[in-house]
Amino acid sequence: MRCCMLILNNLFHVKSMDFYIDRYINEFDDMRTLTNIQKCKKLGNLLLILNILLILVDLIVYKPMRTETLPYLYLFYSHIVVFILILSWLTLLKLHKRYKNLLIGKLLYRAFSIIIIYWGVFMGLNSIYISGQISAYIVCILCISVCLYITPLEAFLTYFVSLVVFTTGLILIDDNTKLLYSHIINSIIVVLISYLVSRLSFISFFKDFISKKDLLISKMELERTNHKLMESEKLRTDFFANISHELKTPLNVIYCAQQMMDITLKQNQYNDRNMNKYLNMVKQNSYRLIRLIGNLIDITKIDALNFEVKLINIDIIKVIEDIFISVAAFAESKGLSFTFDTLVEEKIISCDPDQIERIILNLLSNAVKFTEKGGSIFVYIYLQDNNVCISVKDTGIGIPDNMKHLIFDRFVQVDKSTSKNCEGSGIGLALSKSLAEMHGGSIHVNSKLGEGSEFIIMLPDTIITETSENLSTIEEDCVKKISIEFSDIYD
Ligand code: ADP
């Protein structure tokens, strides 16, 4: 089959045929088998009726000839035999439909073509005695070539073998040399024509299959694109709903604080305690806005491939320890025990300390946010498989199994109600994941609901050749950074 298709491909240069041969050869073959069976079924029913009529003609018109001339008797028997054969074939087809075995289907339509062609061979040879014509052979062979879609190889074998049998029969029975030659020439011509017809109809069937497949593929692609569009439309709507909420909440708080300060001043009820409270509200919610907008800008930059980490060779242990020291007081003020441990004293790797700081601060602020008073937070550094692993572990509320793989997606929050006195936008982990990946690293979580969570960042243990550009680091106000990162947590 594959060989035939490749020959066709070379002969007719059917466009993109190799693609279809590789992918859909079996599907094409099954479709061809089913179509052939349907055609054989129709032809079989037609021949059944035709044979009943022929048997009636034999019984009524040729009755006297049958007793005198043997060919008429053979003609009668051939009609009965073919009638029985086709009836049995149709019964087998009915049984086959129940099992739907395509291999049997293939055998069935081949058997049908053999019955018809050799019936034609017999009738053609028999008619030489009755009418001197071989038209029955011509009709049968043409009929098969027009009706069935067979491969050029199948067609060659079927027609040319029948031609050999038919010509041998002719040579054995035909004593009229002139007629013998004309019969042989006629049968060769008809076999050649049938072969060409078979080949053309096979190609047109194949082209038809390709265009149907093309249509189906484009339809599936359209459906896929449509589905993706709908998904991104939903993401867009969710994004705007989330962002409007996250922007509105701190703005409302700032506005309320300003109103309260205004009223207090107008009513001459100014006192330091109140003022400090309102100023703190303004400060914390401004930090919240700064953090949210900063995260949004960075995530958009990452999406647009417009964000770069500025790698330098730096002692990662020192970077993490410094963050730990600056956050320790805050965590302890929340009633949490805060521990740092490392298996290595010094480890120089290439990383962007500012971005590593953002990741660690985000993990620590989550740990503080989701751990009740009296709980513990551990920061632990160790080496594994050429990676520096930083573990941030807490004894907090934990994350349910079905959410573990989702929390790194944007705007995903397990349950807003679980974080008392805290807010969040669901961007922090998505951003941390992107930042870790930009370092060639990864981030994953181990967690048990009710028992705590452990986030592990893995950074590759590599260093870069330093240039004057990446030697300089930007020192920012550390206290401000922490205030911004922890702005989701209220006092
Ligand atoms: P958010 O700003 O909401 O904290 P994140 O992306 O940082 O956004 O976190 C997404 C969600 O993952 C959180 O809302 C919370 O449900 C869950 N989560 C993150 N860290 C922890 C943790 N240490 N313990 C329990 N749940 C956590």
Q: Whose CA is nearest to atom 7 of ligand 1?
A: 428
Q: In which residue are the tokens 């944007």 written? A: 410
Q: Whose CA is nearest to atom 21 of ligand 1?
A: 366
* pLDDT value of position 466: 66
For the record, the structure tokens of 224 come out as 């896929």
Instruction: Convert 142-184 into a string of H (helix), E (strand) and C (coil).
Output: HHHHHHCCCCHHHHHHHHHHHHHHHHHHHHHHCCCHHHHHHHH
| Nearest-atom index, ligand 1, CA of 371 | 24
* pLDDT value of position 472: 47
- Identify whether the C-beta of residue 459 lies closer than 8 Å to the C-beta of residue 442: no
Cα(349)–Cα(388) distance, integer angstroms: 9
Asked if residue 366 has its Cβ within 6 Å of ligand 1, the reply is: yes
Asked if residue 151 has its Cβ within 6 Å of ligand 1, the reply is: no
Whole-number Å distance, alpha carbon 485 to ligand 1 midpoint, is 13
Amino acid at residue number 458: M
Asked if residue 396 has its Cβ within 6 Å of ligand 1, the reply is: yes
Amino acid at residue number 67: T
- Mean pLDDT, the chain cut into blocks of 10 residues (491 residues total): 55 54 78 91 93 91 81 90 94 78 86 94 89 89 92 92 94 82 92 94 90 91 95 82 84 91 84 85 89 87 87 94 89 91 94 93 93 94 95 95 89 64 75 95 95 96 73 55 72 61
Cα(423)–Cα(288) distance, integer angstroms: 9
Cα(152)–Cα(9) distance, integer angstroms: 12
Q: Which residues of 49-60 are buried (b: 16+ CB within 10 A; e: fewer)?
A: eebeebeeebee
Whole-number Å distance, alpha carbon 103 to ligand 1 midpoint, is 58
Amino acid at residue number 478: C
Cα(380)–Cα(276) distance, integer angstroms: 37
The distance from CA 357 to its chain's CA centroid, rounded to whole angstroms, is 38
Q: Whose CA is nearest to atom 20 of ligand 1?
A: 366
Whole-number Å distance, alpha carbon 399 to ligand 1 midpoint, is 9
Dihedrals phi, psi of 51, to nearest 5 degrees:
-70, -35
* pLDDT value of position 272: 80
Number of H helices, E strands in the chain: 14, 7
* pLDDT value of position 474: 45
Asked if residue 399 has its Cβ within 6 Å of ligand 1, the reply is: yes
Three-point CA angle 111, 114, 115, nearest 5°: 85
Please provide the size of the chain in residues: 491
Asked if residue 352 has its Cβ within 6 Å of ligand 1, the reply is: no
Give the predicted TM-score (pTM) of the model. 0.57
CA-based nearest residue to 95, from 83, 82, 107 = 107
Q: Whose CA is nearest to atom 11 of ligand 1?
A: 413
Cα(454)–Cα(443) distance, integer angstroms: 10
**Do β-strands 337-342 and 376-384 pair in parallel, antiparallel, or remain unpaired?**
parallel
